[in-house]
Chain A
Amino acid sequence: MTGPAAGFAVRLTGIEKSFGPVRANRGASLAVAPGEIHALVGENGAGKSTLMRVLSGMYAPDAGTMEVDGRDVTGWSTAHAIAAGVGMVHQHFMLVPPLTVAENIVLGREITSHGQLDRAGAERAVAELCARTGLVVAPGRRVADLSVGEAQRVEILKTLYRGAKLLILDEPTAVLSPPEVDELWRVLARMRAGGDTIVLITHKLDEVMEISDAVTVMRHGETVGRVATRETSPAALARMMVGREVALAGAAPLPPAPAHTATSADRPALEVRELTVADPRKARAVDAVSFTLAPGEILGVAGVEGNGQTELVEAIAGLRPARAGAVLLDGRDVTRLTVHERGAAGLSHIPEDRQRRGLVLDYSIADNLVLGQQRLYTRRGALDGARIADNARRRIEQFDIRPGDPAAPARTLSGGNQQKIVVAREMGRDFSVLLAAQPTRGVDVGAIEFIHAQLRAARGAGKAILLVSADLTEILALSDRIAVMYGGRFAAVLPRAMATEEVLGAYMTGAAGQAA
């Protein structure tokens, strides 16, 4: 950070930003050379998103200086940032679902004729932009109807429409399929070739190695280092991020399944027969899916988001009605049972959306740690405060939830720690089958390592696990068998040994679309 100021496209120094008591950035710095793809990595809550929001004008820093192209821009607004060619694609999409693609793209910079919106003009402009950049989406479609990959394209198009020369991407690949990731890399590479600068936040270190030119590592709101990509390794980066050695996903091979052939022969822990689920728009979200899951087995379900995984898991959990078919737990038909009854029958569920489903954000950590099991903590109609507190103490310690104050509202925790509450609750209860949906989404390497260890231990203890994940590395690292979901059906069910990223990717995109 001592290089010549004029040489940097972006130079942030000593950035401070607090939210109430949380100091998200404490003197963070960032220097990005023009025309490079610069990766920004760090644990959950390290302050990456916050730093980039400061850069894009969404937050004003409490202290520190910001320079873009050598110009002091400290505390500018989003409007100024956009005018100066800085665009950001946010971790959580910043799209308005009921509006069309074109409306989302032109929002704030509308095309008008005689003071009225020029819809046709806007759609034309978007179509041209699509053609020029190779990011194709139909301009007239509602964003609510788009797949995640398409929505991401719209996000990037939004910034390009505003003439972004500095593009910030916050965890863009968390929800993409491999072919979509490849397409994104192509777009980024093309932009770099055209002289644009890119800052990329990601938790996937292999991506960092593959695409970036330089890396900045953050920890606890501070910048701990800036290195050239070719001079580092994933292990070295992980060490910088958490300050210790980390076992990266996929590094440890899965131990052989414990005697699982013996038990699966007579009675599967979970059996799903011809399960069909309708989605709100009355289409078949899940179309006659059947499979069995043996005790001590992990069945990974891969697939691009929106192919029925959510509906499949929620129907098994009892959160959505099955239109046809049956769900059997340990041989018992539970298709008509309530969520609670299924839980009592041995079903545990880590939901994919912790903020909406998995936690009551305004409840304390302790209260969240009994959600779904509140009946077990009831005596004569009243909640048993002593036992709830005791449970919280044990889980917080066991799963290292921070902060460790059981009375703290779940809302005040970082994403990774929120996920730990859910995992602690669902794996701490008595269960025989675990539905684990996106258990490590957006969670940092340290926490991933921890959660993966927990899943492996459960498998070792003879639990059956249905693992749904958009992250192929995770699927490949943990699963005994792998199913690929496409269009509401299992396009393929493969033993781990036969599955590679290439094979799975083909099924995920329907390229190898033979229904199983």
Chain B
Amino acid sequence: MIFLALVAQTVRISMPYLFASAGGVLSERSGLIGLGLEGYMLAGAFTAALGSYYGQNPWVGVIAGVGGGMALALLYALCSIRYKADQVVVGVAINLLAVGATRFFLRLVFRSSSNSPRVPGFSVVETGTGFLALAHNPLIWMGALSIPAVAWLLYRTPFGLRVRAVGEHPGAALSVGVPVPKVQWIAVALSGALAGLGGAYLALDQHQFSDQMTAGRGFIALAAVIFGRWDPVRVGFACLLFAAAETMEIRLQGTSQIPGQFVQMIPYLLTIVALAGVVGRAVPPAALGKSGD
């Protein structure tokens, strides 16, 4: 019973990570740094709440979340692919933009600096371990599938082969007629869509948007991408590992003698230790970050 509840909690916590890092893998394998995942997710959360509010239907929210994440990702693509701006700079800016813009429109649309009104979501009432509620949330299924889907896309489709080639050696891809920018545009747009779904999950699970509700989850997702060495399956496990550490943190905090602050460090310390001891030197896609001049 307890164990099942822990698993259910881990699965729930892992959702935004899975969505966003699946997107991160795609973007980074095509050579574009996924620094903006946090921003895509936040934008997706906001538009999802907006869509669900006006559509009075969570599915409208899901579609709007995809749109919101993708819109920001396309801006990133425009700057870094079309205009060859420094990816790190634009990525940082995308995150600031997402925070500012969601707040601005939150004020404009809902006259609040912190929350949207309650919007329709997918949740059901359940008093057991939480599995029933999981199974009834279609976004959970989509999140669980996002990693296998990206793995399939990368390793089993012509598009995936092109993504991998473009991220390693764009010149080589170009020389055989692969439209490099187009491949990158698509990969980035998909990454925005996936991260947007992660945001939609957060907003619809809470039945509302609140200011900066992603709270750094996009960065954790990026950490998972690096941790999993850009391989979708390993990245998926990294997400689950982070989520499990957070579950442990939640269960230990307040029930043990250790000050809460130290318990709250666990997931982060674990990441550092694992990174230093287990993963070692990670070799990114060779052309990662090099779309500029």
**Residues on A facing B (Cβ under 8 Å):** 56, 58, 77-79, 81-82, 88, 90, 93-99, 103-104, 106-110, 112, 115-117, 158, 162
Give Cα distance in the complex from A82 to B179, angstroms: 13
A112 touches B158 (CB 8 A): yes
Residue in contact with B165 in the complex, picked from A58, A81, A99, CB distance below 8 Å: A99
A78 touches B177 (CB 8 A): yes
Residue in contact with B157 in the complex, picked from A82, A98, A116, CB distance below 8 Å: A116
B176 touches A82 (CB 8 A): yes
Smallest beta-carbon distance A188→chain B, Å = 20
Across-interface contacts of A117 in B (CB, < 8 A): 155-158, 160-161
Smallest beta-carbon distance B171→chain A, Å = 6
Smallest beta-carbon distance B36→chain A, Å = 25
B175 touches A77 (CB 8 A): no
Provided the pairs A94-B171, A96-B168, A96-B169 are in contact, do residues A158 and B176 lie with their beta carbons within 8 angstroms?
A: yes
B164 touches A108 (CB 8 A): no
Known contacts A96-B164, A104-B172; 13 further A-B pairs (Cβ under 8 A) = A82-B177, A90-B171, A93-B172, A94-B171, A95-B172, A104-B165, A107-B161, A107-B172, A107-B178, A110-B161, A116-B156, A116-B157, A162-B176
11 sample A-B contacts, Cβ–Cβ < 8 Å, listed by A number = A58-B175, A82-B176, A88-B175, A94-B176, A96-B173, A99-B161, A103-B165, A104-B172, A108-B178, A117-B157, A162-B176
Residue in contact with A110 in the complex, picked from B158, B171, B173, B179, CB distance below 8 Å: B158
Q: Select the residue from B157, B161, B164 with max chain A CB neighbours within 10 A.
A: B161
Across-interface contacts of A110 in B (CB, < 8 A): 158, 161
Give Cα distance in the complex from A106 to B176, angstroms: 9
CB within 8 Å of A: which of B143-183? Answer: 155-158, 160-162, 164-165, 168-169, 171-179
Smallest beta-carbon distance A504→chain B, Å = 33
CB within 8 Å of A: which of B78-100? Answer: none
Smallest beta-carbon distance B169→chain A, Å = 5
Smallest beta-carbon distance B290→chain A, Å = 14
What's the dominant secondary structure at chain B's contact region? helix
Residue of B nearest to A119 (CB): B156
Across-interface contacts of B176 in A (CB, < 8 A): 78, 82, 94, 107-109, 158, 162
**Residues on B facing A (Cβ under 8 Å):** 155-158, 160-162, 164-165, 168-169, 171-179, 286
B161 touches A94 (CB 8 A): no
Across-interface contacts of B178 in A (CB, < 8 A): 107-108
Closest CB pairs A-B (n = 10): A79-B177, A110-B158, A108-B176, A94-B172, A94-B175, A78-B177, A108-B178, A96-B169, A96-B165, A96-B168
Provided the pairs A77-B177, A117-B156 are in contact, do residues A98 and B161 lie with their beta carbons within 8 angstroms?
A: no
Give Cα distance in the complex from A364 to B158, angstroms: 43
A103 touches B177 (CB 8 A): no
Across-interface contacts of B161 in A (CB, < 8 A): 99, 103, 106-107, 110, 117
Give Cα distance in the complex from A104 to B164, angstroms: 11
Give Cα distance in the complex from A158 to B178, angstroms: 13
Give Cα distance in the complex from A117 to B156, angstroms: 5
Residue of B nearest to A98 (CB): B168
Residue of A nearest to B152 (CB): A116
Give Cα distance in the complex from A78 to B172, angstroms: 11
A97 touches B173 (CB 8 A): no
Smallest beta-carbon distance A176→chain B, Å = 20
Residue of A nearest to B177 (CB): A79
Across-interface contacts of B168 in A (CB, < 8 A): 96-99
Give Cα distance in the complex from A158 to B157, angstroms: 20
